[in-house]
Amino acid sequence: MRVIGIDPGLRTLGWGVIEMHGSRLTHVENGLCCSAGKDLGARLLSLHEQLTEVFRTYEPAAAAVEQTFVNRDGAGTLKLGQARGIAMLVPAQAGLSVGEYAPNAVKKAIVGVGHAEKHQIAHMIGVHFPGVKLAGADAADALAIAVTHAHHLQSGDRLQAAIARAS
């Protein structure tokens, strides 16, 4: 099963696709969607078109997006929320439900601590996928989101199997 993780951003939206075979995870591809245009509508359209092409190319079967955290800059948070809307819309258009994970939950799942820095996430992604060439920090974060979602899906599968055996 292919899983895509998406790290939403208005200027740069990171994405990472992994393949899940049982408990084995392999890297497929990662990249960045960079918004083009001066006005907000054009930037959002650019992100939508690029992410839609990623979905056409890699055909993920599961998707996950990082949740937005609210910071002091309300306008910035609102703009990030609009980019996150694109990150939620494209998988929905592909017929996928979207897992959502708090940034601290992703960091804890990948690094072991909830307040890890970007370079620590990139390092651990390199440990998970030796030799992977990262398109950037946002792509590393997206791969971390994909890995977190894959682990969540694996746990759900094990729980369902245990329930079936108990029935």
Q: Catalogue the active-site residues.
A: 7, 66, 138
Q: Is 66 annotated as a binding residue?
A: yes
Angle between helices 103-110 and 137-166 (to 10 degrees): 80
Q: Which positions ≥6 away from 87 have C-beta within 8 Å? A: 6, 8, 13, 51, 65
Is 49 annotated for ligand binding? Answer: no
7 is in an annotated binding site: yes
What residue numbers does the annotated binding site for Mg(2+) cover?
7, 66, 138
What residue numbers does the annotated binding site cover?
7, 66, 138
